[in-house]
Amino acid sequence: EKMNSAMSEEPDALSVVNQLRDLAADPLNRRAIVQDQGCLPGLILFLDHPNPQVVHSALLALRYLAECRVNREKMKSELGMMLSLQNVIQKTTTPGETKLLASEVYDILQSSNMSDMDNVNEMNYRRRKAQFFLGSTNKRAKTVVLHIDGLDDSSRRNLCEEALLKIKGVISFTFQMAVQRCVVRIRSDLKAEALATAIASTKVMKAQQVVKSESGEEMLVPFQDTPVEVEQNTDLPEYLPEDESPTKEQDKAVSRVGSHPEGAGSWLSTAANFLSRSFYW
């Protein structure tokens, strides 16, 4: 019976972690989420969830939160945070992209209170250690900056996010909505063209790559129009289809919260409420 109750909770867990991830994507919400009593402990619990999509989504939320420098010390000292990240990295069943994302979050938090030099040494050490756990088949990650025509509201961002999450080899991404950009971390063996193909598949957006010239100036480079074969992500279950998704009704509320940080509090307390009565506690 306990198994059944856990299974019936699963869509709830996924919808809560996805909403937290969407809120964390907006820089204006990041401090509020970390200050909230229940959200950080909840995200830590999600790192141990049996559904790999929940774990990946929780890591994306933490990656967004860690971008805000003032959050890092609190996140690092939160009970179980660093240990849970290590567990994700070391667990043999964790998909490769998820391991890389977890080690990236670990690196950022671990180096939060070091001098720049210690910082570099520590991150190199951590990366070597992560490589050891990941095995030699996973090459280093690389960063691709995309300029996305049509990326102008939260529903377009969600479309973009879903398209990117389906690509095997995508580790994490950050949106800079004001300048229509997306910074994507991918495995080094994935071609950047695959990202352009996925974004073009939304039919409403098109991507160009942002590169720096030798003089340091940024230039936009269009991708070839010929679509690249994109390997689908089989490690992670697909997102819930739109008509079954428990978050569908709340989408509008979430995007409103995203644009009014002071309104995030009420939604966060609802999330914390769910987390405190959830079957893990």
Q: 22 is in which domain, residue-wise?
A: 13-111
**Is 106 found in the same domain as 32?**
yes
What digits encode the pLDDT tens for the residues 97-140?
899 899 889 989 988 766 555 555 655 655 555 554 444 344 56
Contact 123, 107 (CB under 8 A): yes
Q: In this structure, is the dihedral angle defined by the CA atoms of residues 149, 155, 159 and 160, taken in order, positive or negative? A: positive
**Is 71 found in the same domain as 158?**
no
Q: How many CB atoms lie within 10 A of CB 234?
A: 9
**Is 95 found in the same domain as 175?**
no
177, part of any domain: yes
**Is 211 found in the same domain as 156?**
yes
Helices (H), the chain: 2-24, 30-35, 39-46, 52-67, 72-77, 81-90, 96-110, 116-134, 154-165, 192-200, 251-259, 264-277
The residue written with tokens 């280093």 in the block is 140
Structural domains in the chain (count): 2
185, part of any domain: yes
Any idea what the CATH number is for the domain that residue 173 is in?
Answer: 3.30.70.100
265, part of any domain: no
Q: Strand, helix or coil at 31?
A: helix
Q: How many CB atoms lie within 10 A of CB 186?
A: 24
**Is 81 found in the same domain as 167?**
no
**Is 160 found in the same domain as 84?**
no
Whole-model pTM over 0.85: no
What digits encode the pLDDT tens for the residues 14-37?
888 988 998 898 888 999 999 988
The number of residues in the chain equals 281
